[in-house]
Amino acid sequence: MSDAALHERINTEQSLFINGRWSESASGRRFPVFNPATGQVVAHVSDGDAADARRAVDAAYAAFPQWSRLPAYRRGVMLRQAAALMYERRDELARTLTLEMGKPIREARGEISYAASFLEWFAGEGERAYGDIIPPMAPGKRHLVLKQPVGVVAAITPWNFPAAMVTRKVAPALAAGCTVVLKPAEQTPLTAMALMDIFAEAGVPPGVINLVTTNDPAAVADAWLSDHRVRKITFTGSTEVGKLLMRKAADQVKRVSLELGGHAPVIVFDDADVDKAVRGTMASKFRNSGQTCVCANRIYVQKGIYERFAEKFTAAVRNLRVGDGLSEDAEVGPLVDEAALEKVTAHVEDAVARGAELLAGGRRVTEGELARGWFFLPTVLAGVRDDMRIMREETFGPVAPLIPFEHEAEAYERANDSPYGLAAYVFTENISRGIRAAERLEYGIIGLNDGTPSTAQVPFGGFKESGIGREGGPYGIHEFLEVKLVGLAVDEEPR
Ligand code: NAD
């Protein structure tokens, strides 16, 4: 598809998808969506408000009885069909995704496949949402445990995975028999819009999934949080907003699942295979220009291997090709917006001002075509200390701080010294040390010699302030199911 055709297709002012139909917002207001590689506007979309949010809940609430009673197998057929359509349109979806958030097109294609895999996996998990029959305490009793969908689910998603964060929530919710109202991030509504078309074409009935795009996320979220018909909030985004939503959800004791921020440590032990460690750390750090919640944020390297690791890692970082995500050979794209660029710049400036040494990068791209966009050079910092901002706050950019350490116990202690607990990575060829590390680290995801551990089949989620609940794997669907006891009193057999 040419860029002109793509623009025409997505340049829509009717971006609310409610009860199976596209519409404008009640206010008629719109907001722009930017291409981070050029700073140009690529579309204007509807700016939904509280009235639109309520209309979406009306539709989801009305659709719930029929959808929840449909056999899980029938829901699964539709989810598998939606996945098939995503694979079929992978290139087109990937271009839309890159256009609005900037990631390299090869990564965007990977994300579309990853996103589709949640639909396939949860289609099957819906069919296997078994209940239990529990042996009774007393002769006249029987105990049945049913798993039932929680009801209308409100899903709020971030911009960094505009397709996968949607399907990682929507697939288990729909498979469980819930209906959904979805609010994508204001930076990336277009991919979510394309997914609505796919669900409709796959046969998902009107009202089962609804989309409200908005530039005022709090207004839409508040409308959902104060609506008794919405039974669950599932959110991926920053810890700050997650806490806000959790507080508000408390008023009606709504179910919450939160996938929040991270500050992932990488520990490279002396006995690591240095090439494997460099490859794994590069994958964790520079994927999506460092804008993932599981990105390496603190790279602890044991003294005996530090020099070799720093040299090879820095050489690999200098080799990364920075470019417009739409160009086939780009390896690192732009940051999502101006605010992201300012935050990354501030973290690097703070570290350098406090004595860190720049081994690569360290600044915004100011030459040539890329100067128009929000590009930051892949950066390596040495001599990083614990009092620097970069060691405490999520940088969300292509900046790798290297920190030497001496002893194993010191590495665990420093790695665990964080309010976050999402992902941690360990590189070692010593199996006992690997197991010890996996057990000692207070993180929900451990990559052991593995820079990219997540797939649809496994649990994803954090300890501490990184969240509540798990997405993916058999665990993912339980977040959308209520457990109901049916206690039966059975009469004695007549004599
Ligand atoms: P963000 O919290 O600013 O935004 C996330 C979503 O929340 C967006 O849809 C946004 O519109 C909405 N939002 C913002 N303010 C709101 C409010 N007051 N009320 C209701 N909704 C509001 O985060 P972001 O910058 O879009 O995403 C990056 C963050 O997401 C990072 O912290 C990252 O670690 C986290 N993240 C976590 C995971 C995970 O699985 N744990 C995955 C991806 C991203």
Contact 477, 174 (CB under 8 A): no
Nearest to 45 by CA among 96, 118, 120, 80: 96
What are the helix (H) ranges across 70-188?
72-88, 90-101, 105-127, 164-176
Of 380, 423, 126, whose CA–CA distance to 263 is shortest? 423
Going from N- to C-terminal start, the domains of the chain cover 3-260+468-483, 264-455
pLDDT, position 464:
98
**What 8-state DSSP symbol labels residue 383?**
S
Mutate to test the pocket of ligand 1, among 293, 295, 422, 470 (most ligand atoms within 8 A of CB): 293
- Closest C-alpha among 480, 474, 479, 472 to residue 167: 472
Pairing relationship of beta strands 255-259 and 230-236 according to DSSP bridges: parallel
Q: Is the dihedral of CA 89, 94, 97, 98 positive or negative?
A: negative
Residue nearest to atom 22 of ligand 1 (CA): 217
Distance CA 77, CA 123 (A): 7
> In sequence order, what are the beta bridge partners of 183?
156
The pLDDT value given to residue 262: 97
Residue whose C-alpha is closest to residue 369's, from 122, 3, 66, 35:
35
CB 303 within 8 A of CB 404: yes
Task: Indicate yes or no: pTM above 0.85.
Answer: yes
By the 8 A CB rule, do 347 and 376 touch? no
145 token code pair:
């445990």
Closest listed residue to residue 12, CA positions, set 134, 25, 312, 445: 25
Testing ligand 1's pocket by substitution, the residue of 213, 236, 247, 289 carrying the most ligand atoms inside 8 A of its CB is: 236
Q: Domain 3-260+468-483 is classified in which CATH homologous superfamily?
A: Aldehyde Dehydrogenase; Chain A, domain 1 (3.40.605.10)
Nearest to 20 by CA among 238, 204, 189, 147: 204
Which residue lies with its CA nearest to atom 7 of ligand 1? 237
Q: What are the pLDDT digits (tens) for 384-434?
A: 999 999 999 999 999 999 999 999 999 999 999 999 999 999 999 999 999
34, two tokens: 């930017």
- Alpha carbons 296 and 331: distance in angstroms, whole number: 17
Residue 442, number of CB atoms within 10 A of its CB: 15
Catalytic (active-site) positions = 259, 293
> What local confidence, expressed as pLDDT, does residue 492 receive?
87
Residue 163 contacts residue 195 (beta carbons within 8 Å): yes
Whether 3-260+468-483 shares its CATH topology with 264-455 is answered no
Spatial distance between the Cα atoms of 477 and 467, rounded to a whole number of angstroms: 17
What is the CATH architecture assignment of 264-455? Answer: 3-Layer(aba) Sandwich (3.40)
Instruction: Say how many Å lie between the CA of residue 237 and the centre of ligand 1.
Output: 2
Task: Give me 205's structure tokens.
Answer: 């009935």
493 DSSP assignment: P
Which numbered atom of ligand 1 lies nearest the CA of 336? Answer: 25
The whole-number pLDDT of residue 85 equals 98
Q: Which residue has the tokens 């998990």?
A: 125
Residues 6+ away with beta carbon under 8 Å from 161? 111, 115, 288, 292
Alpha helical stretches, state H, 153-289 = 164-176, 189-201, 217-225, 239-250, 274-286
Q: Render pLDDT for 217-239 as a digit per residue (tens, 0 to 9).
A: 999 999 999 999 999 999 999 99
- Residue 146: beta bridge partners? 484
How far apart are the C-alpha atoms of 221 and 249, rounded to whole Å? 10
Atom of ligand 1 nearest to the CA of 241: 2
How many Å lie between the centroid of ligand 1 and the Cα of residue 447? 23
Spell out a b/e string for 443-463, using b for 16 or more CB atoms within 10 Å of the CB, else e: bbbbbbbbbebbebebebbbb
Ligand 1 atom closest to Cα of 467? 41
Q: Which residues contact 368 (CB under 8 A, 6 or more apart)?
A: none
Positions in the chain short of pLDDT 50: 1
For residue 57, how far is its CA from the centre of ligand 1 (angstroms)?
Answer: 21
427 C-alpha to ligand 1 centroid (Å)? 30
Taking a C-beta distance cutoff of 8 angstroms, is the pair 465, 419 a contact? yes
State residue 127 phi and psi, 5-degree precision.
Answer: -70, -20
- Give the distance (Å) from ligand 1 centre to CA of residue 177: 26
User: What is the SS3 assignment for 145?
Assistant: strand
Cβ count near 20 (within 10 Å): 17
Q: Which of 115, 104, 161, 421 is nearest to 291 (CA)?
A: 161
Answer for the pair 444, 462: CB distance below 8 angstroms, yes or no. yes
Strand partners, 182: 155, 211
